[in-house]
């Protein structure tokens, strides 16, 4: 079921939560709305669900105008961050609730029983139907909430920070499970998250939002490797900033050190953004314009990665570098050592 969003805007009093947002969601796609708190991603999800009405713009679901439709008419499943399970109902009855309260086309009890049991098997909770929500772990409760949303056979599935209330290990397990589940049921799905790793691992496309606007969209690989703005680059992971002078044509920019300025009069410096794993450390005299001098402050090995914190000798800026354990074993960098930093890859703004 495809979704077409055109020029959507919404305000809460004087606060403009969404500003002229347009987006196409493809049939069967799993799409992540990614951004910091307050960027408008949950507001967009609620407008799609029919839980709020936009101040301007239109929403079409499956080619049908849905802007003025009720939440029930849109046939959208919604999964909340904090489960919203009925504590006085069993797991079975929680999942069956949406089917039992239907005013039209209410299934027979036998069909409800069959559908709920099939969903319990789908979310790997078969045998848990008689338990109460208080007898489940956080991950199990979230799977019940997802099964309840799927029970009414929605055309679109919306998930608002579905794993935000869970600890890190359970989140990792559940997001992989969600990816496999989506591949099996192939329902158009949007989920909201501020967790970059979660969005990159689960989604087919990522929509990055900031201050009520979409600032970039693309596959996880495209968004990470080719950030459109400094905000996107910094939000998607740790970055180091290097002042530099533009090079002629498509040449490599020259790194600035100390108070140096670009040579040509009127030439404005730019900033290179390099992630910790895109930097190399070198001993010796360094290469002017291609390396910057620094002193190692700390070396910490965590698993297969070695984190090195440095301070630039020319301007005092802190720099983070990540090396493989094999590289560190070869070079044995130590705190207090003077080295030069070479960016091997970067984004420029």
Task: Tell me the two tokens of residue 212.
Answer: 């009520």
347: left (phi over 0), alpha (psi -120 to 50) or beta: beta
Terminal-residue alpha carbon distance, the chain: 38
DSSP 135: G
Tell me how far apart the alpha carbons of residues 149 and 32 are, in angstroms, rounded to a whole number.
18
Band of pLDDT at residue 176, cut at 50, 70 and 90: confident
Q: Are 210 and 219 in contact (CB under 8 A)?
A: no
Task: Write the pLDDT tens digit of every residue in 195-252.
Answer: 999 999 999 999 999 999 999 999 999 999 999 999 999 999 999 999 999 886 667 8
Residue found by looking up tokens 């007898």 in the block: 135
Band of pLDDT at residue 24, cut at 50, 70 and 90: very high
Residue 273 predicted with pLDDT over 90: yes
Task: Write the pLDDT tens digit of every residue in 29-84.
Answer: 999 999 999 999 999 999 999 999 999 999 999 999 999 999 888 989 998 877 78
Tell me how far apart the alpha carbons of residues 183 and 177 are, in angstroms, rounded to a whole number.
10
Give the side-chain half-sphere CA count within 13 A for 196: 11
Task: Tell me the two tokens of residue 288.
Answer: 């002017």
Q: Enter the pTM of the model.
A: 0.86
Q: What DSSP letter does each residue of 228-294 carry, written as one string?
A: SSHHHHHHTS--EEEEEEPPSTTPPPEEP-TT---SSTTPPPEEEEE-GGGEEEE-SS--TTT-EEE
Task: Write the pLDDT tens digit of every residue in 87-136.
Answer: 999 999 999 998 898 878 888 999 999 999 999 998 889 999 999 999 99
Task: Write the pLDDT tens digit of every residue in 134-157.
Answer: 999 988 988 899 899 989 889 999
How much is the pLDDT for 250? 65
């Amino acid at each position: 079921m495809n979704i077409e969003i055109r020029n959507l805007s919404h305000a809460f009093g004087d606060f403009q939560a969404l500003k002229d947002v347009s987006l196409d969601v493809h049939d069967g796609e799993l799409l992540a709305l990614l951004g910091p708190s307050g960027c408008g991603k949950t507001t967009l999800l609620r407008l799609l669900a029919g839980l709020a009405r936009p101040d301007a713009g239109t929403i079409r679901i499956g080619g049908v105008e849905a802007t003025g439709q009720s939440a029930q008419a849109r046939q959208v499943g919604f999964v909340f961050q904090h489960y919203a399970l009925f504590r006085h109902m069993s797991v079975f009855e929680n999942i069956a609730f949406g089917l039992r309260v239907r005013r039209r086309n209410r299934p027979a009890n036998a069909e409800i029983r069959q559908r709920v049991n099939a969903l319990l098997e789908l979310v790997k909770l078969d045998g848990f139907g008689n338990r109460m929500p208080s007898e489940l772990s956080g991950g199990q409760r979230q799977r019940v909430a997802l099964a309840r949303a799927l029970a009414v056979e929605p055309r679109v599935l919306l998930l608002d920070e579905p794993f935000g209330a869970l600890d890190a290990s359970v989140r990792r397990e559940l997001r992989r499970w969600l990816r496999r589940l989506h591949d099996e049921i192939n329902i158009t799905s949007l989920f909201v998250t501020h967790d970059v790793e979660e969005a990159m691992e689960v989604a087919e496309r990522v929509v990055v939002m900031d201050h009520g606007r979409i600032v970039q969209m693309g596959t996880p690989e495209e968004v990470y490797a080719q950030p459109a703005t400094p905000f996107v680059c910094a939000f998607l992971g740790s970055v180091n900033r290097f002042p530099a002078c533009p090079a002629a044509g498509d040449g490599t920019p020259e790194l600035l050190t100390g108070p140096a300025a670009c040579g040509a009069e009127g030439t404005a410096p730019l900033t290179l953004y390099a992630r910790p794993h895109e930097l190399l450390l070198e001993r010796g005299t360094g290469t002017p314009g291609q390396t910057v001098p620094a002193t190692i402050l700390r070396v910490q090995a965590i698993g297969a990665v070695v984190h090195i914190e440095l301070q630039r000798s020319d301007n005092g800026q802190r720099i983070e570098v990540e090396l493989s354990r094999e590289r560190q074993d070869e070079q044995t960098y130590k705190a207090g050592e003077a080295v030069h930093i070479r960016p091997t890859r970067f984004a420029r703004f």
